[in-house]
Each structure stands twice: as C-alpha cells, then as structure tokens.
Amino acid sequence: MAFPKGFFIGAATAAHQVEGNNIHSDYWRQELLPHSSFTEPSGAACDHYNRYAEDIRLLTEAGLNAYRFSVEWARIEPEEGRFDEKEIEHYRNVIRCCRDSGVEPIVTLHHFTSPAWLIRKGGWEAESTVEYFRRYASYVTEQLGAELSYICTINEANMGLQLAAISKRYMLMAEQAQKAAASGAKQAEGKVQVGMNFEKMMENMKFAAMENAQAFGTPQPQVFVSARTPEGDMLVMRAHREAKAAIKAIRPEIRVGLTLSLHDLQALPGGEPFAEAAWDEEFRHYLPYIADDDFLGVQNYTRTQYGPQGQLPCPEGAELAQMDYEIYPEALEHVIRRVREEFSGDLIVTENGLATADDSRRVAFLRTALAGVERCLADGIPVRGYCYWSLLDNFEWQKGFSMTFGLIAVDRATQKRMPKPSLAFLGGFAE
Ligand code: BGC
C-alpha cells in the first residue's frame, strides 16, 4: 500500500527532546532543580544538534520523505532581544540537509520549551508573550522562510487546558485516596498524551515552589506545559494568530497551522454529555481561531472512554503502551473523521506513535493507523501527510529516556544509531 504522490510520510522530533544541551531553556532549569519532577535531566539527549545529518540520512535511506522538527526559541533568542545568527545558521543547515535529500522540512516554532527569560517575564499567562512570540516568528521567517513551505506555530496548543483538567482530577483523587488510606492516584496519570510525573510533582510541590522562585522569580512558573487558565488558553490562540499574520506578511506562500493533542473520545451509553464536553474543551472551542488556517496538525496516541459517571479506566485486559495508556491505533482514523466534521482545511498527522520495547508491536500499530488514514483519503478527506512520533528514542519530558517511541534506537553512551525494522516499514508507504 503506497500513498499518493506528494503525500508526506515522515517522522517527527522536537528540539529539546533530541538536540541536547538546550541550556537557555526553561526546561533545562527545571530539570536541574534539586526537587525536580523530572526523572532525569535531558543532558546531551540524542546529540541530534551535531548528528542531524546522520539522522536525516537514515530517514531518507528508509524511504521517508518528510521530517517534522522544531527550531528552539531558547537557542535563537537566548536573551531577550538578542538573536543568535549562529543558531539560525544551524537550522538553515538542517533545512538544507532535508532539501538536498528530497525531504520536506515541516518546522515547528514552539514545541513546549521556551527561553528561561520569557518565563521570568510571566511566561504563558503574560500578555507580553504574544508580542515576544510574534517577533520571534517574524525573525525565523525572515531568516529561514525562503526554504520553507510548512510552519506549525505552536505544538499542542491545547495542552495547558488538558493539564488543568487532569491536575484538578488528580488532586481530587489524591485527596480521596488519602482519606481512604488507599492509593487510587496513579490511575489518572496515563490520560494525558505526554510524559508527566504527576505523583512526583505533587510530592515535590512545597520544595519546588521555593526552588522555582529562585530560578524564575515566581513559585509557579508559567512554562508552556503547565495548567493553563482560560485567559492563558486564549493568550496561546492570540500568540498563534499574531505569529501566523507575521509569517504571512513576509512569506504569504508558507502554509501555516498549529497542532492539537486530540484523544479519540468515545461515549458508552450515558457517557455522551461527558464526551461532548471533553471534545468542546479539547477541540471545538478553538475553531474560531484556527478555522482559516492552511492546515491543522492532528496529534493522537490513544482513546478515552466515558460512561454515565464520567471518564472510564482503560478497558479490562487492554494492552498498555509504556506510557500506561491503551494501545489503540484505530483512534487516529476516528479523530481525523471527527475533526473533518468541523474543520474544512487540510489535515496533517503531525504526531501519532507508540512507546514500546517490542518493535513488531510498533509495526502492527503503524499498519493499523495507516490503513485508517488510507480509508480517510479514499473518502476524500484532505489528509496531506503522516508523521510518526518519533524518529529517535528520545527524552520523553518528565519521564526521561525510558520511553521508547523511536523508529531508531539510540545507545546513549555512544550515541550510536540503530534503525529498527519499523523505520523501513514506514518508509515503504511513501510513493
Ligand atoms: C508531544 C511530544 C511527546 C509525545 C509523546 C506529544 O504530546 O508533542 O513532545 O514526546 O506526545 O508523549
């Protein structure tokens, strides 16, 4: 089964998760706090900063034709208003490397990490961030825009509200568990599609507040991946729109969109109102701000089911990913179809993947997920590409390096790359 000519078959990464030594970023600081919620610091990560050419070569040789990666704001603007030409040159080289290999570079401007200085200025709840982000987007477009056809402004723009909801639920469960002197708290962890250590975060809260105050001037730094207020949620939308306008003013031909983390929300009888409310929060209320975008980046990993009392645990006997949520590759097709009912622009699957130690499981996951995408295309849904998460086994945020999502394994002692069979399997779908 091959997709039509021009359909992107790619893999995705994010700067902080693979490059290494992202020392001016907020995450770098948070990872090194004495009471950090991170299992381990990102350190040299996969040294992709120095080894990108080898990684893009492996991707190309396996037949893939697109590479989604992010440029790191904290490298490009390490201090407020100081833009580093050397770092822009680095990303120019990465883009050239893609182009020389016939690989489409799909660039994300913001993938969770921000410069530490931005967080000291109030981060993702501060009005000034909208203008800072616009200025950064404009600089990147001036410098790199000539080589780009696709830009994702903000990765998983809806992550903050998901975290707000899950933190609230987690607190409630932890309280109940404490009262009942039983632990039911761990259950809540797996429901967000990103590596977070909620238990550790709660335990560390008291100390972390003090340490954060020292590092960022506030006990509760508003990094991107933290619980957002409704006002902060709208601020993210304004940042997206301003950045998009800035990109279009310089290069109207670049196709611009953002990406959203979308679960396949399924209602069992009686669960409909819960599933609807979750879809409103996760997707529908963003529509006014993205309806005229050139594309939407769809990011899906699993499903969530609702019954008459609300969210249900994973079905009995379900196989779980390393991330502790259900392995359910059918979710992608369901989400694409659901999004299509309300969003008429192009869709790009900017992330979909599985953390597993068993690569044959990943191959099976890809087979099912891509068959779903193919059915969507056959029905005329404008899906333009599929990027698997992730090209490399990498730094899964608070969960560290233990989650293996990659098509390529990385020996962290030697940084040696070891392509898994799933890499060539995915490449086989490209025209
Ligand atoms: C994020 C990635 C992350 C992946 C797997 C997505 O939420 O964009 O950065 O590694 O999920 O958890």
Residue nearest to atom 2 of ligand 1 (CA): 194
pLDDT value of residue 431: 85
Nearest CA, atom 10, ligand 1:
396
Identify the residue whose C-alpha is closest to ligand 1 atom 5.
Answer: 194
Ligand 1 environment, Cβ below 6 A: 14, 17, 155-156, 193-195, 261, 299, 351, 389, 396
In angstroms, rounded to a whole number, what is the distance separating the alpha carbons of residues 73 and 303? Answer: 32
Examine residue 390 and say whether the peptide bond preceding it is cis (omega within 30 degrees of 0): yes
Q: What is the pLDDT of residue 190?
A: 43
Per-residue pLDDT at 189: 43
Q: Which residues of the chain have pLDDT under 50?
A: 185, 188-190
CA 13 to chain centre: 9
Closest CA to 62 of 120, 117, 101: 101
Determine the pLDDT at residue 188: 42
Give the number of the atom of ligand 1 that is nearest the alpha carbon of residue 14. 9
In 3D, which of 391, 414, 408, 412 has the Cα closest to residue 400? 412
Ligand 1, from 25, 159, 193, 259: best to mutate by most atoms within 8 Å of Cβ?
A: 193
Write down the pLDDT at residue 201.
78
Cite the active site residues: 156
Residue 177: the pLDDT is 65
Q: Report which protein residue has its CA nearest ligand 1's atom 1.
A: 194
What pLDDT score does 168 carry? 83
pLDDT, the chain, mean: 95
Q: Using one digit for the tens of pLDDT, what is the confidence trace for 330-350? A: 999 999 999 999 999 999 999
